[in-house]
Structure 1
């Protein structure tokens, strides 16, 4: 029935601060859509950003996200990039289980304390 993820939504305290972080640290493309909403595009997916209470159907809190992103970079290059951007790696590299097998991952927090896992398949 389900073939893939189109987008996810993260609840953040400051949308432009988050846009800047995801552009700078994760090299995502910032986009604007539907009445000025902001998102970050990568591949054929995107992360939509919302403020607390902006979407009444969603009761998520700021910083409640936990996302695993697959990179086409070498994990060593990801680590070097994060260090250059002065982003703390809070765990990793460690082996984890991805959707289609074992992955190597590093973890960081975005400005709102959403947990971001960046991973590679061997």
Structure 2
């Protein structure tokens, strides 16, 4: 029996909030939103990434909240070739790819980049 259905949100700890906001909104095209008492998040599809700034985390928080420890894979809303062109237009370096990988439900074609905190970001399309 499965207990979990899907991911609602995850929490990203960053060092430089402005640089992180620029990356996730301008480079990845996510929507920035504020909520609660001074909280912020990046919204995409039916999910979001809540943002914590190191040293100013909201409680409760991870046992050891650190920046740069995430390895995230996103499925693109547009063809991967268009993602690659957008990354080049933004002068955001691709560190690997495109390469074929195995996703959660099927084979994917991916490129890898790093966000301002050096988290590994994989952007993929189903193949």
| TM, length-normalised to structure 2 | 0.91
Shift of 1:66: 0.9
- 1:90 corresponding residue in structure 2: 95
SS in 1 for 2:98: strand
SS in 2 for 1:64: coil
Q: Distance in 2 between matches of 1:116 and 1:81?
A: 15
Shift of 1:20: 1.6
- Structure 2 alignment gaps of length 5 or more: none
- 1:57 corresponding residue in structure 2: 61
- 1:76 corresponding residue in structure 2: 81
SS in 2 for 1:77: helix
SS in 2 for 1:3: coil
Alignment equivalent of 2:109, drawn from 92, 104, 110: 104
CA RMSD of aligned residues (A): 1.1
Alignment equivalent of 1:121, drawn from 108, 111, 126: 126
Q: Distance in 2 between matches of 1:76 and 1:110?
A: 20
Alignment equivalent of 2:33, drawn from 23, 31, 34: 31
Q: Distance in 2 between matches of 1:47 and 1:30?
A: 10
- 1:16 corresponding residue in structure 2: 18
SS in 2 for 1:89: coil
Q: Distance in 2 between matches of 1:31 and 1:89?
A: 27
Q: Distance in 1 between matches of 2:49 and 2:61?
A: 17
| TM, length-normalised to structure 1 | 0.95
Shift of 1:16: 2.6
Q: Distance in 2 between matches of 1:20 and 1:72?
A: 19
SS in 2 for 1:5: coil
